[in-house]
């Protein structure tokens, strides 16, 4: 097998971010050789860590380093220490700026309920078991970046405004990606909007219908975001790929996380639909990969964070950026096996179960993944 080599930028960030990222890195180092790939890692700061060291949530040169990597693996940003800072100075500004600078318009958030955790959700096991859906969130438009966005004060009092703009081309590319993803899944797309109220949602729906005509073999429907929020937890198995604008996706993806039993389980990928910028790379698509969970400052430094979200993010990186589907399958199967064996970090341990540490969970998954790969 010819060995391929990839450059990965690690952005640990804050709180548990660096802890879980270390485990994802360890997994990649272990699985590289049997999977026929070599990974070269570099590191940079983002979020509160970057504010403390450099005075900004991410330096331009580090954004540049991200642009020159084949893929970026990120931990999490934010924490109470930086909560007093204004919108453009906060840790979150580093992440939002990076998404924008890298043009990462497509945020993929798969939610798969592992059988072993069907009883972990506060929802009934019979409702969540077998759920396997993917939230495709538009990531560089809508309310997060629309102008005007401002706070002002005049003699009448305080005002604030945010703006929700979408161009048809932005809707087209994300909906199209959702249809292509559905093609390799259960062939169903649900487009989520608020077309009974919002202009942007009416445009979204029109464009989604136009795109759907290119994919006659994919089942397609629309859902209004409010009733969709309800169906997502009452009938989650109805959904395969769900595509929606930025803020709807932010909200519904956290809601969907309840199905999985813990936010700590969930990975994400953010794509710009293009190969990496650097020439000569064999990477297929550039992407940034991060667990959906936040920096969890309350448990940082205790080695108890669930590394699975970060590990599954690394697995998505292998699948989408490096075309290493077999290794990605092995990792996902290993996670399932570790859970079947009863390995539980504290966030997924139910009463009577003795929780394992971050590194115990991670090292078991590594062992099982390598065994899977050579099986």
Residues making contact with ligand IPM (CB under 6 A): 78, 92, 95-96, 250
Residue by residue, DSSP assigns 222-265 as EEEHHHHHHHHHHSGGG-SEEEE-HHHHHHHHHHHHGGGS-GGG
CB of 141 to ligand IPM, least distance (A): 12
Respond yes or no: is residue 226 known to be catalytic: yes
Q: Give the single-character DSSP code of 301.
A: T
Among residues 16, 290, 240, 249, which one has the least CA distance to residue 111? 240
Helix or strand (DSSP H, E) at 91: helix 91-101
CB of 134 to ligand IPM, least distance (A): 15
Respond yes or no: is residue 221 known to be catalytic: no
Among 70, 250, 290, 332, binds Mn ion (CB under 5 A): 250
Q: Which is nearer to Mn ion, 139 or 308 (CB)?
A: 139
Catalytic pick from 132, 162, 238, 254?
Answer: 254
Q: Which is nearer to ligand IPM, 95 or 328 (CB)?
A: 95
Q: Rounded to the nearest 5°, which phi and psi values hold at 350?
A: -100, 175
CA distance 27 to 332: 12
CA distance 275 to 289: 15
CB of 134 to Mn ion, least distance (A): 16
Among residues 329, 318, 326, 322, which one has the least CA distance to residue 285? 322
Give me 137's structure tokens.
């969130």
Binds 92: which of ligand IPM, Mn ion, none (CB < 5-8 Å by kind) = ligand IPM
Place of tokens 């990969």: 289
CB of 82 to Mn ion, least distance (A): 17
Catalytic pick from 62, 112, 144, 193?
Answer: 144
Respond yes or no: is residue 250 known to be catalytic: yes
Binds 96: which of Mn ion, ligand IPM, none (CB < 5-8 Å by kind) = ligand IPM
Give me 105's structure tokens.
């318009």
Catalytic pick from 194, 215, 240, 347?
Answer: 194
Catalytic pick from 176, 250, 289, 347?
Answer: 250
- Judged by CB under 5 A, does residue 138 bind Mn ion? no
**How many whole angstroms from its chain centre is CA 305?**
17
CB of 9 to ligand IPM, least distance (A): 18
Burial (CB count <10 Å: 0-12, 13-18, 19+), residue 216:
exposed
- Compose the 202-241 pattern: x for residues touching Mn ion by CB under 5 A, - for all others: ----------------------------------------
The residues binding Mn ion (CB under 5 A) are 250
By annotation, the residues acting in catalysis are 144, 194, 226, 250, 254
């Amino acid at each position: 097998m010819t060995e391929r080599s990839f450059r990965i930028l690690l952005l640990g960030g804050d709180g548990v971010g660096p802890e879980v990222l270390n485990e994802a890195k360890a997994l990649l180092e272990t699985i590289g050789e049997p999977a026929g790939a070599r990974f070269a890692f570099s590191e940079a700061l983002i979020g509160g860590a970057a504010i403390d060291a450099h005075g900004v949530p991410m330096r331009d040169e580090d954004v540049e380093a991200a642009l020159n990597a084949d893929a970026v693996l990120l931990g999490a940003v934010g924490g109470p220490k930086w909560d007093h800072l204004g919108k453009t100075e906060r840790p979150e500004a580093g992440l939002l700026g990076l998404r924008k600078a890298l043009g990462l318009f497509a945020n993929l958030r798969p939610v798969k309920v592992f059988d072993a955790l069907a009883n972990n959700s506060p929802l009934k096991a019979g409702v969540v078991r077998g759920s396997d859906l993917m939230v495709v969130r538009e990531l560089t438009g809508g309310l997060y970046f629309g102008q005007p966005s401002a706070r002002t004060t005049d003699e009448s009092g305080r005002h604030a405004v945010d703006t929700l703009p979408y161009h048809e081309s932005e809707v087209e590319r994300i909906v199209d990606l959702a249809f292509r993803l559905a093609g390799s899944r259960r062939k169903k797309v649900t487009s989520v909007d608020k077309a009974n109220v919002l202009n942007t949602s009416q445009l979204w729906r029109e464009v989604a219908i136009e795109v759907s005509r290119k994919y006659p073999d994919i089942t397609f429907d629309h859902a209004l975001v409010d009733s969709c929020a309800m169906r997502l937890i009452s009938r989650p198995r109805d959904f395969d790929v769900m595509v929606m604008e930025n803020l709807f996706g932010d909200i519904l993806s956290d809601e969907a996380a309840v199905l999985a039993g813990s936010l700590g389980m969930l990975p994400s990928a953010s794509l710009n639909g293009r190969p990496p910028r650097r020439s000569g790379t064999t990477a297929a698509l550039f992407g940034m990969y991060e667990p959906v969970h936040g920096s969890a400052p309350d448990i940082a430094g205790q080695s108890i964070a669930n590394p699975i979200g970060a590990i599954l993010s690394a697995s998505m990186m292998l699948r989408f950026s490096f075309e290493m589907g077999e290794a990605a399958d092995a990792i996902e199967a290993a996670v399932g096996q570790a859970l079947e064996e009863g390995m539980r970090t504290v966030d997924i341990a139910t009463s009577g179960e003795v929780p394992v540490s971050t590194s115990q969970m991670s090292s078991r998954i590594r062992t099982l993944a390598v065994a899977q790969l050579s099986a």
